[in-house]
């Protein structure tokens, strides 16, 4: 979203030191300033009881911002709302006003547990966050605004049985996560009947996190929720809050399963804001080195600052280096490190320390986004583009205290995306944020979810209004494999076990392998077998929420991988031997002199060994062979192909293979800005001649069985994606290829060569320069 008052300034090369003069540094490639603005307020809605106005106003809110009132009014009128006003715009008040008005009992005595007026719960509301920590943050923030005694509760895996019972039977506002809804609330809906019958609002917070397979799972859970609420006669209004996303109406509608015309979109932030200056910085060396110095300079200039870095280890090193630099600048202020996995108590302490100023700066892993409630900083430093514009804006949004100016510095890595953004800053500033990619009809997700729905309440024809056209073929399949049985009343679940236990929202499904910590027996998570071979082979360094573990054993029969906490100082990179066969072509069209297609593929792969790479420099230490079984993945892919006849003859077959390989890396590297995937969501495969196409072919496929929507998005956006890839590689100032164009640290086939010139030649045939 472009701000008309913002201007791009090309800064002449100069040199100076210090935070105040940073924009004169020669490493600064661009500066973007958006002007300060006064906020626009609106009167309190007239349906809001005076008692609630008073209690909200007591929390230092004299009058709400206009966008908060617009969201509240729409939801109160019964419209679903997509609230996409970005970080620190005060979205919470927008959905809390209607929730407060609907769920507060008139004149109850909250101190009296037997007071029937509270127990009657005229309406209930549900809040869903992607993480437990966020739900607890919301509990504190909401309780501050609500009337004394407002029955509000967090429900999560840590709740005691008594707390669960209380939430179910008495709470009017329950804050939980999709997993609890899936495992606990929906399968026990009879016990939740009173709550569901009264359900008026459902808030889906941080909805941009529900993407890919996880997004499809949550979408199915929300459909099950709407169906059961409907069974009890309720038709809850959804408020879907997210960071600024492109096409908020469509993304929110896909998530909750309604038509996008049913959504009211609120995306104009009308809160007051100081000037924000965003600086794009091209370091000479490693971005973390510059991030440390910038962090120190900012803190020395009395700026409360956070630096986001890629890993927990980097956070510690950057904090140490910044502290040392700060001392040499003669300052006795304090800089700390923060990493994911801290206990709630530690997170609260860190928030307090930053707010009170006992801590002036912090270097943090990106995971901080999930756990800590810190906004209103003077400066944010981001070491390496965080992969998507949405993530960038989320991190940058931490800057900007009420009315005060703030600054964000993005320190570029050597990576195709970062290099692309340095050359095309308007792609960062002016283009809408990627919309969340998810496919609610994904059969591997929807099939088991339909089984879960059938166990909750027999499925009928009418339920396709919730689950869509994909329901019928999947139900027939579930009948064929005797998971469901057709009876006069609908389709019934036939088995003794709980259907939901077969569905983990956060894993990719199938025969999941559990990751278990040796000694403690703690389950860190689950992973599908194919990914396990790559990420959890014996000797693999496994990174989980910023912690590193060493894998001792991968036991496919027992479905477990045994790991132990370790800091070996290196990372591991699997080496794959892979083949790919096209099973069906769903779509295809010419692109340049070649062809782009989308369809189903079967990928066979075997992890043959791994490289050990230095954790910080990435240098390869050594190679270790492995003996692991071959796996087959059936998934969605997009591929481009070029007939040899269309390719200039002077390129040898070896150059073609190396060119295709380089083009594959660069295209994969840039895909996240088009398909909003993470690098571990997709993989590539290239060959100078593929038996199914009879041509040079480069595949990009979803790592999720059945596909996750990313390859399909890549197909749809192939023209822009490949043109961008061609431009990035051809304009890169390296000689024979570098990490900013065709060299990838994540390559599964490091034995195959890379050829920059051939990569440009091939890409130019697909996406010629205009
Ligand atoms: Zn390069
Ligand atoms: Zn590769």
Q: For the chain, what percentages of helix, strand and coil (3-state, to nearest 5) are there?
A: 35, 25, 40
Distance 663 CA to ligand 2 centre (A): 9
Percentage of the chain exceeding pLDDT 90: 55
Instruction: Output the pLDDT for position 616.
Output: 76
Ligand number with the minimum distance to the CA of 741: 1
Distance 558 CA to ligand 1 centre (A): 44
Cβ neighbours for 721, distance < 8 A, ≥ 6 positions apart: 667, 670, 671, 674, 714
Ligand number with the minimum distance to the CA of 420: 1
- Mean of the pLDDT values across residues 683-708? 92
- Mean of the pLDDT values across residues 646-671? 93
Instruction: Output the pLDDT for position 7.
Output: 42
Distance 743 CA to ligand 2 centre (A): 8
Distance 144 CA to ligand 2 centre (A): 52
Distance 698 CA to ligand 1 centre (A): 20
Residue 336 has pLDDT above 80, yes or no: yes
Distance 501 CA to ligand 2 centre (A): 37
- Mean of the pLDDT values across residues 520-549? 81
Distance 316 CA to ligand 1 centre (A): 30
- Mean of the pLDDT values across residues 420-447? 83
Question: What does the pLDDT look like over 81-105, one tens digit per residue?
Answer: 999 987 778 889 999 999 999 987 6
Model pTM score = 0.78
Distance 271 CA to ligand 2 centre (A): 46
Distance 667 CA to ligand 2 centre (A): 11
Ligand number with the minimum distance to the CA of 698: 2
Distance 412 CA to ligand 2 centre (A): 23
Ligand number with the minimum distance to the CA of 415: 1
Angle at the Cα of 322 (from 321 to 324), degrees rounded to 5? Answer: 65
Distance 701 CA to ligand 2 centre (A): 14
Question: What does the pLDDT look like over 273-304, one tens digit per residue?
Answer: 889 999 999 999 999 999 999 999 999 999 99
Distance 541 CA to ligand 1 centre (A): 28
Question: What does the pLDDT look like over 346-400, one tens digit per residue?
Answer: 777 777 888 788 889 999 886 555 455 666 789 999 999 988 887 888 888 888 8
Ligand number with the minimum distance to the CA of 748: 2
Question: What does the pLDDT look like over 16-43, one tens digit per residue?
Answer: 468 888 888 999 999 999 888 888 999 9
Cβ neighbours for 15, distance < 8 A, ≥ 6 positions apart: 24, 25, 26
Which residues have CB less than 5 Å away from ligand 1 (the ion)?
Answer: 732, 734, 738, 740-741
Ligand number with the minimum distance to the CA of 575: 2
Phi first, then psi: what are they for 727, rounded to 5°? -65, -40
Angle at the Cα of 520 (from 517 to 525), degrees rounded to 5? Answer: 40
Of 28, 7, 29, 10, the residue nearest 19 (C-alpha): 28
Question: What does the pLDDT look like over 581-598, one tens digit per residue?
Answer: 999 999 999 999 999 999
Instruction: Output the pLDDT for position 16.
Output: 45
- Mean of the pLDDT values across residues 659-666? 96
Ligand number with the minimum distance to the CA of 578: 2
Ligand number with the minimum distance to the CA of 750: 2
Question: What does the pLDDT look like over 112-149, one tens digit per residue?
Answer: 555 545 556 789 999 999 888 788 888 988 888 877 77
Distance 613 CA to ligand 2 centre (A): 16
Rounded CA separation 538/541 (Å): 9
Distance 752 CA to ligand 2 centre (A): 7
Distance 390 CA to ligand 2 centre (A): 27
Distance 343 CA to ligand 1 centre (A): 42
Distance 588 CA to ligand 2 centre (A): 25
Distance 662 CA to ligand 1 centre (A): 10
Of 471, 565, 465, 466, the residue nearest 515 (C-alpha): 565
Residue 742 CB-half CA count within 13 A: 29
Distance 728 CA to ligand 1 centre (A): 8
| Bridge partners of residue 307, in order along the sequence | 363, 381
Distance 748 CA to ligand 2 centre (A): 5
Distance 744 CA to ligand 2 centre (A): 7
Residue 509 has pLDDT above 70, yes or no: no
- Mean of the pLDDT values across residues 69-87? 93
Distance 654 CA to ligand 1 centre (A): 20
Ligand number with the minimum distance to the CA of 732: 1
Rounded CA separation 391/376 (Å): 17
Instruction: Output the pLDDT for position 443.
Output: 80
Ligand number with the minimum distance to the CA of 576: 2
Distance 661 CA to ligand 2 centre (A): 6
Distance 196 CA to ligand 1 centre (A): 56
Distance 352 CA to ligand 2 centre (A): 45
Instruction: Output the pLDDT for position 71.
Output: 97
Distance 282 CA to ligand 2 centre (A): 26
Report how far apart, in Å, the C-alpha atoms of 99 and of each of 218, 233, 479, 618 are: 22, 19, 41, 50
Ligand number with the minimum distance to the CA of 700: 2
Distance 741 CA to ligand 1 centre (A): 4
Q: What is the DSSP string of 535-585?
A: HSSTT-EEEETTEEEEEEEEETTTTEEEEEE---SEEEEEEEEEEEEEEEE
């Amino acid at each position: 979203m472009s701000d008309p008052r913002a201007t791009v300034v090309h800064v002449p090369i100069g040199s100076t030191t210090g935070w105040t003069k940073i924009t004169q540094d020669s490493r600064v490639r661009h500066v973007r300033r958006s002007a300060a603005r006064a906020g626009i307020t609106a009167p309190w809605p007239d349906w809001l009881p005076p008692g609630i106005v008073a209690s909200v106003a007591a929390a230092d809110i004299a009058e709400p911002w206009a966008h908060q009132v617009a969201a509240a009014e729409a939801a109160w009128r019964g419209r679903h709302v997509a609230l996409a006003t970005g970080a620190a715009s005060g979205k919470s008040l927008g959905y809390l006003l209607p929730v407060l008005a609907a769920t507060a009992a008139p004149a109850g005595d909250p101190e009296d547990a037997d007071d029937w007026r509270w127990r009657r719960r005229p309406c209930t509301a549900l809040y869903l966050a992607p993480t437990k920590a966020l739900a607890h943050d919301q509990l504190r923030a909401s309780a501050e605004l609500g009337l004394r005694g407002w029955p509000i509760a967090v429900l999560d895996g840590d709740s005691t049985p008594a707390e669960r019972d209380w939430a179910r039977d008495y709470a009017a506002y329950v804050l939980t996560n999709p997993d609890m809804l899936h495992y606990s609330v929906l399968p026990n809906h009879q016990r939740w009947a009173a709550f569901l019958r009264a359900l008026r609002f459902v808030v889906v917070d941080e909805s941009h996190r529900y993407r890919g397979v996880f997004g499809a799972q949550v979408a199915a859970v929300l459909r099950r929720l709407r169906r059961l609420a409907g069974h009890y006669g309720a038709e809850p209004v959804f408020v879907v809050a997210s960071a600024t996303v492109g096409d908020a109406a469509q993304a929110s509608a896909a998530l909750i399963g309604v038509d996008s015309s049913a959504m009211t979109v609120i995306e104009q932030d009308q809160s007051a804001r100081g000037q924000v200056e965003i600086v794009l910085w091209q370091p000479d060396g490693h971005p973390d080195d510059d991030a440390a110095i910038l962090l120190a300079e900012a803190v020395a200039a009395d700026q409360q600052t956070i630096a986001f870095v890629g890993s927990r280890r980097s956070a510690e090193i950057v904090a140490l280096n910044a502290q040392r630099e700060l001392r040499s600048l003669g300052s006795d202020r304090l800089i700390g490190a923060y990493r994911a996995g801290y206990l709630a108590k530690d997170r609260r302490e860190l928030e307090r320390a930053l707010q009170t100023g006992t801590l002036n700066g912090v270097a943090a892993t990106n995971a901080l986004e999930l756990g800590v409630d810190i906004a209103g900083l003077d400066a944010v430093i981001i070491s390496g583009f965080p992969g998507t514009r949405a993530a960038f804006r989320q991190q940058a949004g931490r800057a900007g205290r009420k009315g005060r100016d703030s600054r964000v510095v993005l320190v570029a890595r050597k990576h195709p995306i970062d290099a692309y953004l340095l050359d095309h800053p308007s792609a960062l500033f002016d283009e809408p944020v990627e919309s969340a990619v998810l496919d609610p009809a994904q059969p591997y997700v929807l099939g088991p979810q339909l089984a879960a729905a059938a166990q909750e309440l027999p499925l009928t024809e009418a339920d396709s209004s919730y689950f869509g056209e994909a329901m019928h073929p999947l139900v027939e399949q579930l009948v064929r494999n005797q998971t469901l049985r057709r009876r006069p009343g609908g389709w019934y679940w036939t088995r003794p076990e709980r259907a939901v236990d077969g569905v983990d929202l956060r894993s990719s499904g199938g025969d999941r392998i559990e990751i278990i910590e040796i000694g403690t027996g703690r389950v860190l998570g689950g992973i599908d077998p194919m990914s396990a071979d790559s990420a959890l082979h014996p000797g693999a360094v496994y990174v989980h929420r910023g912690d590193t573990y060493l894998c001792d054993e991968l036991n496919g029969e027992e479905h477990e991988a045994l790991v132990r906490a370790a800091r070996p100082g290196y990372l591991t990179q699997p080496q794959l031997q892979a083949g790919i066969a096209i099973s069906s072509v769903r779509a295809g069209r010419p692109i340049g002199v070649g062809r782009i297609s989308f369809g189903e593929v079967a990928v066979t792969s075997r992890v043959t060994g791994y490289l050990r790479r230095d954790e910080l420099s990435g240098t390869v230490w050594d190679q270790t062979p492995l003996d692991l079984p071959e796996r087959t993945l059936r998934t969605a892919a997009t591929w481009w192909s070029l007939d040899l006849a269309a390719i200039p003859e002077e390129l040898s077959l070896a150059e073609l293979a190396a060119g295709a390989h380089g083009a594959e890396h660069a295209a994969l590297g840039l895909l996240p800005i088009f398909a909003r995937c993470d690098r571990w969501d997709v993989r590539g495969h290239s060959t100078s001649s593929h038996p199914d196409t009879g041509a040079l072919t480069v595949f990009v496929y979803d790592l999720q069985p059945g596909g996750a929507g990313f390859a399909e998005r890549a197909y749809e956006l192939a023209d822009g994606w490949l043109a961008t890839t061609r431009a990035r590689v051809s304009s890169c100032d390296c000689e024979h290829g570098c990490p900013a164009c065709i060299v990838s640290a994540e390559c599964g086939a490091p034995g195959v060569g890379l050829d920059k010139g051939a990569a440009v030649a091939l890409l130019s045939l697909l996406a010629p320069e205009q």
